[in-house]
Amino acid sequence: MGKDGSNKMKLVIVGAGGRLGAALVREYRDKHQVTGFNRDQLDLSNLHDVRETLRATDFDVLINAAAFTNVDRCETERDSAFLINGEAPGVLATICRDKGAKMIHFSTDYVFDGQKRAAYTEDDEPNPISAYGESKLAGEKNVLAANDEHLIVRVSWVFGPDRPSFVDAMIKRAQESDTVDAIADKFSTPTYTLDIAAMFPRFFPGYSARDYHGILHFANAGECSWQEYAQSALDCCQRIGLALKTKAVGGSKLKDMSGWLARRPVYSVLSTGKYTKLTDTPPRAWREAVADYITRFYSTK
């Protein structure tokens, strides 16, 4: 419920031009009063403009889906990474606190080091091994330091129709090349933007008797390697009749990725047990989500 007592919330979505932000705008624009800011309209590296713009905007909930997500560039552009991923979320959180608004901020499985071989829970201690992970963890801490009633949602391997991701790159390669390889010894879980968007309204203030806050993990159910993820996608493409030059994904090893600057966690599966307990709705399996995506958005290509 909005501050004015109506059923429509006034939402600000930062990062509205990105893969996740665009999905959120599309999901909510007919149900709520949505103001979306893409990077050209609100650059998180310019904190003065961020403060000026958002202080002049009326809203009930701010969703921050913007980030500096190029993991390797974060290694060479640490200052920018920590400004956008670390400092800026704290500024957003402070503005929300001062307005009496809720902030929902997205973070990542890369806050973990990957040494665990069971799904990471919200109570596990973060230990990032890259500048990207370090900067995102700094952002989490700054958001909750401004107001511990805000909500951090960690997600992993995000895919969806609004901007190409790993799964789209694998399909494109299979359409153009006789060989496709993907890493077989790195594990996490794909997360579909449409599923994220569908689950979010329950975390808006007034949706239920409980106002969710703190840290929450969300991903589709299960776990896989990048090779398994890519193979499942190509299998779906075959079922819908999409022409491919190759139908099998070969395996490569994480240690052989010599072109990468940043270290990646080997295992970063997020436990969604807390989400399921809070909502009584377990996320659907990652294979089902990937099949839905490919059926919807590749059948007409």
Strands 249-252 and 180-183: parallel
By C-alpha distance, which of 138, 279, 127, 148 is closest to 217?
A: 279
| Residue closest to 34 by CA, chosen among 10, 7, 17 | 10
What single-letter DSSP state applies at residue 245? S
**Nearest 5°: CA angle at 287, between 114 and 297?**
115
- CB count within 10 Å of CB 90 equals 20
267 labelled catalytic = no
The per-type count for the chain, helices as H runs and strands as E runs, is 11, 12
Q: CA 198, 30, 19, 104: dihedral to nearest 10 degrees? A: -60
CA distances from 127 to 28, 47, 299 (A): 34, 27, 41
Of the candidates 28, 110, 132, 192, the residue annotated as catalytic is: 132
CA-wise closest residue to 111 among 126, 98, 96, 93: 126
Residue with the two structure tokens 């701010």: 62
DSSP 185: S
- The tokens for 272 are 């969604």
> Cα 259–260–261 angle (5° rounding)?
120
27's CB contacts (< 8 A; 6+ apart) are 194, 197, 198, 200
CA distance 72 to 261: 5
159 near 229, Cβ under 8 Å? no
The residues carrying an active-site annotation are: 132
